[in-house]
Amino acid sequence: MTIFATEETFTIDLHCISDNCCMLYTGEPSNRNHLRRNTARTGSMKILLVYPHYPDTFWSFRHALKFIGKKAAFPPLGLLTVAAMLPPEWDMRLADMNVKPLSDQQIQWADYVFISAMTVQRESVHEVLARCRRLGTRTVVGGPLFTAAPAEFDSADHLVLGEAEVTLPRFLHDLDRGQPEHIYVSDQWAEVRETPIPLWKLIDPSKYAAMNIQYSRGCPFDCEFCDITQLFGRKPRTKSTGQLTAELDALHGWGWRGGIFFVDDNFIGDKRKLKNETLPSVQSWMEQHKHPFTFYTEVSIDLADDPDIMDLMVRSGFEEVFIGIETPNDDCLSETGKIQNKNRNLLESVKKIQHAGLQVQGGFIVGFDSDPLSIFEKQIHFIQESGIATAMVGMLTALRGTKLHQRLFKEGRLLGDTSGNNTAASLNFIPRMKAETLISGYRSILTSIYSPKNYYKRVTGFLREYRPLRQGSFHVKPGYIGAFFKSIIMLGVIGKERFQFWKLLFWSLFRRPSLFSLALTFAIYGYHFRKITEKMDWSGMFDTGVIENN
């Protein structure tokens, strides 16, 4: 999100974007003979699509969103795409609990409540399911959370596992006959060329900082801690260029102007098609429409090895990329199978991408078995030297379905489920390093990199070298003048960072005036990261006695 220009850019974690595909899952209550409404007459169905509450984390950007008067970073793309697969004669409404609380009246209105969620939304999901049971409304739930832990959500009515393009039609067919089953599974991958355009009319765009679309699913790499290949496979499946430009047309025709996040797990998974077909098509579309959007996405570090793709991305309107850097320690990269990060100068690779005109947001992890005690200072040093302002540092998490989870289970080191928030001070496994040392080291990283002195130094260093390609026209978006004045009060008068804030703003104004809006955006980001760090529970969500006794 660049506050005062044409772009509004937020990025979220690799596991967070899984909901932005079309995965759907559903479950049945323990009393499966309870109230059934309109199961055989689907022509009159009333459907409420519910996106559960997302807790306050680094990735929520909640403290930053307040400055621009937005309720959430992104709309629930998965639910909007599923809505487009439902019979058009159905009466559909969407309730995003991150925008507005869910009322009992909304639940009672519906014949079915469709829920999609990620692991980090687990607590809110249980609350919504309980309310639906109490009010007698049947539920259809979907997404990575339910796929990973179906037994935990057996109280829902119908479980449709896997990608919705494959299993949802079977559920709808059975529902139309009045005989929907409890669970639907498939080992087939969906043909994403059949995926419809999301049903954007269900949301109010003014509530969101950016929109999102999906071009591909899957990732060619298979990192031990990542569940993407388990969910979507290693062979990237891509939409056609016609589909992609049709989705851009839909957003443009709908009136959207601003940031769009490509939620792909690895946007450059199929480099040949990207270089020869997709990016040239997007570039042409953007030129024809006078650059109404700015794009950002997730890529692997080997983007640095292909200057042609970087150039095409920049000319197509891409401004930011999120990269899983994880660690500067080569032994840890070997341990976790992060082969694309090995045998390269990671710092130099980051600089190449930045010098090409792309901002780099980075993901970092501590807690690997191979981590030395010096890892915390090494992470701090790398982040400061890289100029990565948005550095998301988390402790290693063993997600269900990953190779890491399987290995730790065999080794007897699992402690339970993860919260889904990989930037929380929590462990769901027994680390090789002492837990207290790991927690303390993790805390030292966050408090260091997000201290006003270090954070603003990193931002200034990046802006000094950053040379973006400006293609769209500059204009101030509604509400952003207010954001400027809010930042003056919150950061320039009240905030702990007021000295660094004014120093950055005046430096930018006189040295790099074209980047003034970006400098202010980074300042607001820093406020959000600092507030989250200050609110974190550093005791950890685990029993240290259990850890020490194993």
DSSP string for 427-463: -SB--SS-HHHHHHHHHHHHHHHTSHHHHHHHHHHHH
Q: Average pLDDT, stretch 487-497? A: 95
Q: Average pLDDT, stretch 380-391? A: 97
Q: How far apart are CA 100 and CA 71, in angstroms?
A: 8
Which DSSP symbol is given to 473?
P
- pLDDT score at 546: 45
Tokens 């989250």 map to which residue? 532
Q: Helix axis angle, 346-355 relative to 375-386, nearest 10°?
A: 20
At residue 84, the 3 state secondary structure works out as helix
- Let me know if residue 192 belongs to a domain: no
Q: Average pLDDT, stretch 419-442? A: 85
Q: Average pLDDT, stretch 453-466? A: 97
- Let me know if residue 312 belongs to a domain: no
State which H helix or E strand residue 46 sits in: strand 46-51
Q: Average pLDDT, stretch 485-510? A: 96
Categorise residue 108: left if φ over 0, alpha if ψ from -120 to 50, beta otherwise.
alpha
- pLDDT score at 18: 36
- Let me know if residue 172 belongs to a domain: yes
- pLDDT score at 507: 97
Q: Average pLDDT, stretch 246-271? A: 96
Q: How far apart are CA 429 and CA 416, in angstroms?
A: 7
Cβ atoms 388, 364 nearer than 8 A: no
At residue 259, the 3 state secondary structure works out as strand
Percent of the chain with pLDDT over 70: 87
- Let me know if residue 468 belongs to a domain: no
Q: Helix axis angle, 452-465 relative to 498-511, nearest 10°?
A: 10
- Angle at Cα 77 formed by Cα 27 and Cα 315, nearest 5°? 150
Which DSSP symbol is given to 255?
T
Q: Rg (Cα) of the chain, in Å, rounded? A: 23
Cβ atoms 121, 29 nearer than 8 A: no
Q: How far apart are CA 407 and CA 232, in angstroms?
A: 21
Q: How confident is the model at residue 539 (pLDDT cuts 50, 70, 90)?
A: low
Cβ atoms 43, 185 nearer than 8 A: no
* pLDDT tens digits along 49-93: 999 999 988 888 999 999 999 999 999 999 999 999 999 999 999
Categorise residue 197: left if φ over 0, alpha if ψ from -120 to 50, beta otherwise.
beta
**Cα-based distances in Å from 168 to 190, 232, 366, 377, 490:** 11, 17, 39, 49, 47
Q: How far apart are CA 200 and CA 253, in angstroms?
A: 11
- Angle at Cα 55 formed by Cα 51 and Cα 61, nearest 5°? 95
- pLDDT score at 469: 86
Q: Average pLDDT, stretch 356-373? A: 98
Tokens 């966050």 map to which residue? 446
> 148 vs 339, which has greater pLDDT?
339
Q: How far apart are CA 308 and CA 236, in angstroms?
A: 20
Q: How confident is the model at residue 229 (pLDDT cuts 50, 70, 90)?
A: confident
- pLDDT score at 423: 59
- pLDDT score at 3: 39
Q: Which two tokens stand for residue 64?
A: 């930053």
Q: Average pLDDT, stretch 7-14? A: 30
Lowest mean pLDDT among 189-198, 228-237, 318-327: 228-237
Q: Average pLDDT, stretch 461-480? A: 77
Beta partners for 72? 208
Domain count, the chain: 1
- The model's pTM is 0.89
pLDDT of 456 strictly over 90:
yes
State which H helix or E strand residue 43 sits in: none
Lowest mean pLDDT among 40-44, 55-59, 285-289: 40-44
Q: How far apart are CA 134 and CA 30, in angstroms?
A: 13
Q: How far apart are CA 44 and CA 341, in angstroms?
A: 53
Q: Average pLDDT, stretch 490-512? A: 96
Q: How far apart are CA 443 and CA 400, in angstroms?
A: 25
- Which residue intervals of 254-374 are DSSP H helices? 271-273, 279-288, 307-315, 330-336, 346-355
Tokens 């949301």 map to which residue? 203
Q: Average pLDDT, stretch 169-190? A: 92
Burial classification of residue 88, based on how many CB atoms lie within 10 Å of its CB (0-12 exposed, 13-18 middle, 19 or more buried):
exposed
- pLDDT score at 544: 45
Q: Helix axis angle, 435-449 relative to 452-465, nearest 10°?
A: 60
pLDDT of 27 strictly over 70:
no
pLDDT of 548 strictly over 60:
no
**Cα-based distances in Å from 433 to 254, 378, 429:** 52, 16, 11
- pLDDT score at 473: 60
Q: Which two tokens stand for residue 353?
A: 């991408």
Residue 162 sits in a domain of what CATH number? 3.40.50.2300
Lowest mean pLDDT among 229-243, 268-282, 307-321, 336-350: 229-243
- pLDDT score at 22: 47
Q: Average pLDDT, stretch 314-326? A: 98
- Let me know if residue 14 belongs to a domain: no
- Let me know if residue 80 belongs to a domain: yes
- Let me know if residue 90 belongs to a domain: yes
- pLDDT score at 60: 87
CB atoms within 10 A of CB 394: 23
Q: How far apart are CA 336 and CA 369, in angstroms?
A: 9
- pLDDT score at 77: 97
Cβ atoms 303, 268 nearer than 8 A: yes
Q: How far apart are CA 308 and CA 272, in angstroms?
A: 11
**Mean pLDDT over all residues of the chain?**
88
- Angle at Cα 318 formed by Cα 314 and Cα 322, nearest 5°? 115
Q: How confident is the model at residue 13 (pLDDT cuts 50, 70, 90)?
A: very low
Q: How far apart are CA 530 and CA 535, in angstroms?
A: 9
Residue 160 is part of which domain span? 22-184
* pLDDT tens digits along 435-445: 999 999 999 99
Q: How far apart are CA 108 and CA 529, in angstroms?
A: 38
Per-position DSSP letters for 185-242, written without gaps between them = ---PPP-GGGPPPP-GGGS-GGGBS-EEE--EE--S---TT--HHHHH-SS-EE--HH
- Let me know if residue 135 belongs to a domain: yes
pLDDT of 202 strictly over 60:
yes
